[in-house]
Structure 1
Amino acid sequence: MYLRKRTVLKYLTGLTLGLVLYCEWFIYIAQPLFWNKLTCDNSIKNDRCTKILFISDPQIQGDNAVPSPIGDILNWDSDRYLQSTYRVVMKQFKPDIIVFMGDLMDEGSVATIQQFHGYVKRLSNIFDTSYPVVQIWIPGDNDIGGENEVVKPDKVLEFNKVFSQPSVISYNNISFYKVNAITHSIPQPLDEGDLNYKIAISHFPVLTRTAYAKKVINALQPDIFFCAHDHVSKYVQHQHDFVKSRTHLLQYKDPVLVLPLENNESIYEIYTPTCSYRMGTFKIGFGAAVIDNDHLKYTVFWSPLRFPCLFVYLLLSIIVFGYTLFICFMRLFSRLCHHLPDSEDTKRLLPQV
Structure 2
Amino acid sequence: HPITAIFRLILNHWPILKRTTRFVKPFINDLEPNLILKGDSHHFTITSYDRVNMINKILAEEYLSQTFFTLNLNDKNFVYEISVPTCSYRMGVQRMGYVVLLLDSETKTAHLTILSTPRRNPALLLYLFYGIFALIFLIVSSLFSRRTLVQLLTHLR
Common fold by TM > 0.5: yes
Question: Tell me, what secondary structure is at the counterpart of 1:254?
Answer: coil
1:200 aligns with: 10
Residues 286 and 218 of structure 1: CA distance in aligned 2, closer, same or farther (over 3 Å):
same
Partner of residue 25, structure 2: 214
Question: SS in structure 1 opposite 2:119?
Answer: coil
Give the superposition deviation at 1:219. Answer: 1.1
Structure with the higher helix share, 1 or 2: 1
Q: Kindly indicate which of the two structures has a greater share of residues assigned to strand.
A: 2
Once the two structures are superposed, the pairs formed by residues 119-268 of structure 1 within 5 Å of their partners are 191=1, 193-196=2-5, 197-210=7-20, 211-240=22-51, 241-242=53-54, 244-247=55-58, 248-251=60-63, 254-268=66-80
Give per-residue Cα distances to partners, 1:59-102, cap 9 Å, x unaligned: xxxxxxxxxxxxxxxxxxxxxxxxxxxxxxxxxxxxxxxxxxxx
Q: In structure 1, what is the equivalent of residue 88 of structure 2?
A: 276
Q: Tell me, in whole angstroms, the C-alpha distance in 1 between the residues paired with 2:133 and 2:19.
A: 52
Partner residue in 2 for 1:295: 109
> What is the aligned residue count?
136
Distance in 2, matches of 1:320 and 1:198, equals 51
Could you tell me how far apart the structure 2 residues matched to 1:239 and 1:224 are? 13
Q: Percent identity?
A: 25
- The alignment yields a C-alpha RMSD, in angstroms, of 2.7
> Structure 1: which amino acid aligns with 2:19?
R
Shift of 1:310: 3.1
Q: Could you give the per-residue CA deviations for residues 172-222 of structure 1, whole angstroms, max 9, x where no partner exists?
A: xxxxxxxxxxxxxxxxxxx5x321121222110101112222121121111
Residue of structure 1 equivalent to 2:123: 309
Residue deviations 1:203-256, cap 9 Å, x none? 1010111222212112111122221111011111222232x3222214165331
Q: Structure 1 321/287 Cα, relative in aligned 2: closer, same or farther at 3 Å?
A: closer
Distance 1:274 1:209 in 2: 22
8 Å CA contact 1:235–1:250 kept in 2: the answer is: no
Gaps of 5+ in 1: 1-190, 332-353
- Seen in structure 2, the aligned counterparts of structure 1 residues 303 and 199 have a Cα distance that, compared at 3 Å, is same
- Normalising to structure 2: TM-score of the pair? 0.72
The whole-number CA distance in structure 2 between the counterparts of 1:205 and 1:258 is 21
Larger Rg: 1
